[in-house]
């Protein structure tokens, strides 16, 4: 079983090595998140969902905006995972990006399949959705790293995470708790320019640490599950 301290230490080191590239992706993600917050406020979503069958009053334009924002986030995630994997392999970011760009359509299909499976599990009961999420945790890593097709990546991730899902779960719990604690400005000064500036600066450090920590865990699990492991 992997331990979290080496993963976060590795994440800290890689964040410093590729700081400006990760900072660019963090800014794009933060901008998408802020745009989503503005749209939720502009359409009064918080008030509508409190009404009886209020979801029926939510305009289609809001769903369209959310779909666009989600698509942007999924696209950015492709480059983040590729950067994390390139750092693992010791490759230069631009060279690694260009060598993996042909996988983008397969990645988009994989993410659609992955989210549909997780959503189906969450609709049935919360626990099946969490188990599916943990089982498919490294699907996009495998697709990009091993250049698998989407369905092989799903099966390979399910096999790869076997025996490590509890550890992955606690890693995600730690990431969530730390992210929640670091978002304290939103509680003190909700939806202000100062809040957004502070959150972007905090995320510029924290998110790359978490992304690379996940990459470290991927490498650890891959080596532990390797047939050549004695």
Q: Is 164 helix (H, G, I), strand (E, B) or coil?
A: coil
Helix (H, G, I), strand (E, B) or coil at 207: helix
* Dihedral over Cα of 53, 57, 61, 66: its sign: negative
User: Are the C-beta atoms of residues 143 and 110 closer than 8 Å to each other?
Assistant: yes
Angstrom distances, CA of residue 190 to CA of 37, 133, 184, 197: 11, 31, 9, 12
Residue 49's SS3 state is coil
Give the domain ranges of the chain.
4-221
Tens place of pLDDT per residue across the chain (230 aa):
678 899 999 999 999 999 999 999 999 998 888 888 888 888 887 777 777 777 777 888 888 998 999 999 999 999 999 999 999 999 999 999 999 999 999 999 999 999 999 999 988 888 899 999 999 999 999 999 999 999 999 999 999 999 999 999 999 999 999 999 998 877 777 777 888 888 889 999 999 999 999 999 999 999 998 766 54
Distance of alpha carbon 21 from alpha carbon 189, whole angstroms: 29
Six-digit token pair at 12? 């800290």
pTM: predicted TM-score of the whole model, two decimal places? 0.89
Given this model, what pLDDT does residue 228 score? 63
Tell me how far apart the alpha carbons of residues 105 and 62 are, in angstroms, rounded to a whole number.
26
């Amino acid at each position: 079983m992997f331990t979290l301290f080496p993963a976060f230490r590795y994440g800290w080191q890689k964040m410093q090595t590729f700081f400006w590239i990760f900072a660019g992706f963090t800014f794009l993600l933060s901008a998408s998140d802020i745009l989503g917050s503005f749209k939720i406020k502009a359409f009064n979503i918080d008030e509508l969902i409190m009404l009886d069958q209020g979801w029926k009053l939510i305009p289609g334009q809001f769903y369209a905006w959310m779909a666009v924002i989600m698509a942007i986030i999924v696209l950015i995630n492709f480059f983040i995972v590729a950067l994390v994997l390139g750092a693992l392999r010791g490759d230069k970011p631009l060279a690694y990006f260009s060598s993996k760009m042909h996988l983008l359509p397969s990645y988009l299909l994989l993410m659609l399949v992955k989210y549909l499976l997780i959503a189906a599990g969450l609709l049935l009961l919360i626990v099946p959705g969490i188990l599916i999420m943990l089982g498919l945790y490294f699907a996009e890593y495998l697709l990009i790293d091993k250049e698998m097709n989407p369905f092989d990546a799903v099966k390979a991730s399910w096999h790869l995470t076997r025996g490590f899902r509890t550890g992955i779960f606690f890693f995600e719990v730690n990431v969530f708790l730390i992210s929640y604690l670091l978002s304290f400005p939103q509680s003190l000064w909700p939806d202000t320019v100062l809040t957004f500036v502070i959150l972007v600066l905090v995320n510029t450090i924290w998110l790359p640490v978490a992304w690379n920590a996940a990459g470290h865990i991927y490498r650890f699990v891959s080596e532990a599950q390797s047939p050549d492991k004695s």
